[in-house]
Chains A and B, each alone.
Chain A
């Protein structure tokens, strides 16, 4: 019984890393990144391919993060010149392009067949092969990333991010290089997503391009909207809530004939929650409580 709950916990931890990256981009800096899943995929594929080539886990994870960061830096050059919805659309396209690359560059990624037999993590000879170890190791990483992002948000850098989100023109008027700051933010968010992707790949041990669709980005969007005003903490908590809710549905005694409607109903409930949140508390994504009430 415990293994199943540990699996939900590990899934929640991976999604939490993914969503916290998006929270930093959208929630704190106003970068509407609808292609967040691309970084998740790049991290997953890079780390898997490197460790399948025989590199130790920590080396391939490190290189995968370098690759994710490098790719983000490169695509940031043209895409970060765009603003608002244009940026969102370009990122949406980038997400799809990345998936197509995974699908079509079969010499590298084995295309639609996917990559089986990805090695499980091992730290200096200490194997992480059982669920409790996965939960603890990934949990530590989640806490580290959480503390890092929280630190960023509360630092002067975070205040520049907030300034860019609330009024980019004013931010640049007081001498802030908004292009550079937005790039820092995008790369940090991408690194969190790349880490999540690599951890996902080493946990499941099999990945294929169909794991990296727009649906994952939408799930993360839902999570950060649910997290609302609580910022990065909200994203962390609601990740576990959403994953728990999805899995919890398995235990509700739905009649057999109703079975095929569960997933659509779940999507509808999520959609409804989104609409209600936006209607009742407009500005969740964009404005913050006044500074006096802040943490």
Chain B
């Protein structure tokens, strides 16, 4: 036992020694992604997009002639492991910038550490409105839910509905979006009949749906994910709830239509829109296809791709120090139009976004900008 332990420690020490060796001519930045655990499905896609952008940057001469290198750490999709991973990147790898973890709760857990250590943290997936105030070193290229909540409220108003109940998934995304929606919708003179949370991953949502049925509303807002959304819309159909369902961005997926079939016919919703006919998008899609073949472009891959390109520009302009990057990020983002549109940071390190409308017609998703 003792012998094995000594061997184990030796292996770690040797590994540490090599980890500390840095090569001249390389600019290192860190990335904490959910490479394993329950978000691993997404993490792999984020990593592929980041790798694609990095390869492009290095093919074009890197950062002022130096190679860009990403040090990946596994956040395992939990706050505890994301924090450990960020600590390691800051103290062992001494990176000036970290591409932050997915899921707003993990992102918010690591934000104070980066802020205190004066290391730039930038995210491509976290939508929580709380991140806006997370600190001077915290950025994100993904629009805040504040914008989307407003978008949903505007859509409901535009469709002419005055009274709606809201059904939402009880996590940081659903609740954040619901709060913004309710505030905006009431401000416009609309009335929210009921706010009904539900837990993810159940097989029966009839209790919540019956609450909606009681109001017999003309329209209802459902801020749902794909899998539970499919169950909800199917059971609503079975219960004979005839209403115009209005959803957020997370339900916009061909899989939902496949799972729920005609129960989602006519469903509509909003999503952070970017043109998929712009030259930038076409170039991205072609590059993806060239590197990964027929593998589908992962969720939020476009945001990750834009993020790395922005970071590379900031590194080239401001140098590889946190304060240099922080200042340069504001400058290089000004007017920068990436795959996902205009990425100009406001003073909080947030970006704006246009919102489009999607709906299901004849079993297909139709998006309008």
Contact = CB atoms under 8 A, between A and B. Distances in A.
Interface of A: 1-4, 7-8, 11, 103-104, 106, 111-114, 116-117, 204-208, 210-211, 245, 247-248, 250-253, 256, 259-264
Contacts of B176: 113
Nearest to B109: A206
B79 A204 contact: yes
Interface in B1-43: 8, 11-12, 15-16, 18-20, 35-37, 40, 43
A262 B34 CA distance: 11
B302 interface: no
Contacts of A112: 105, 170-172, 174-175
A252 B11 contact: yes
A57 B232 CA distance: 45
Given A4-B88, A8-B84, A113-B175, A259 B12 contact: no
B109 A4 contact: no
Nearest to A247: B84
Contacts of A116: 108, 112, 130, 134
B36 A264 contact: yes
A263 B11 CA distance: 19
Interface string B124-149: 00001010001000000000000000
A126 B259 CA distance: 58
B197 interface: yes
Contact of A4 (B40, B91, B174): B91
B91 A1 contact: yes
Nearest to A219: B80
A106 B195 CA distance: 13
A44 B170 CA distance: 21
B172 A1 contact: no
A259 B175 contact: no
A116 B138 CA distance: 15
Contacts of B206: none
Contacts, number: 105
A8 to B, nearest CB: 7
A3 B72 contact: no
Contacts of A7: 83-84, 87, 91
Contacts of B90: 3-4
A261 B36 contact: yes
Given A4-B87, A205-B112, A114 B172 contact: yes
Interface string B39-56: 010011000000000000
A100 B78 CA distance: 18
Contacts of A4: 87-88, 90-92
Contacts of B199: 103
A251 B16 contact: yes
26 contacts: A1-B20, A1-B92, A3-B87, A3-B91, A4-B87, A8-B84, A11-B80, A103-B199, A111-B170, A112-B105, A112-B170, A112-B174, A116-B108, A116-B134, A204-B109, A206-B108, A206-B112, A207-B79, A208-B79, A208-B109, A211-B79, A252-B11, A252-B15, A253-B18, A263-B76, A264-B36
Contacts of B37: 263
A248 B105 CA distance: 25
Closest 8 pairs between A and B when the two form their complex, measured CB to CB: A263-B36, A251-B15, A4-B91, A3-B91, A7-B87, A208-B105, A112-B171, A259-B35
A103 B35 contact: no
Nearest to B105: A208
Interface of B: 8, 11-12, 15-16, 18-20, 35-37, 40, 43-44, 72-74, 76, 78-80, 83-85, 87-88, 90-92, 105, 108-109, 111-112, 128, 130, 134, 170-172, 174-176, 197, 199
A2 B74 contact: no
Given A3-B90, A245-B8, 8 more contacts: A3-B87, A112-B175, A206-B105, A206-B109, A247-B88, A248-B12, A253-B18, A263-B40
Contacts of B175: 106, 111-113
B74 A104 contact: no
Contacts of A208: 79, 105, 108-109, 172
Contacts of A1: 20, 91-92
Nearest to B176: A113
Contacts of B15: 251-253
A250 B170 contact: no
Contact of A260 (B36, B111, B112, B197): B36
Contact of A259 (B74, B79, B85, B130): B74
Contacts of B35: 259-260, 262
Given A116-B108, A250-B73, A210 B78 contact: yes
A2 B91 contact: yes
A260 B172 contact: no
Contacts of B40: 260, 263
Contacts of A104: 170, 197
Contact of B83 (A111, A204, A248): A204
A114 B105 contact: yes
B104 to A, nearest CB: 8
B325 to A, nearest CB: 20
A210 B112 contact: no
B36 A250 contact: no
B79 to A, nearest CB: 5
Nearest to A4: B91
B47 to A, nearest CB: 8
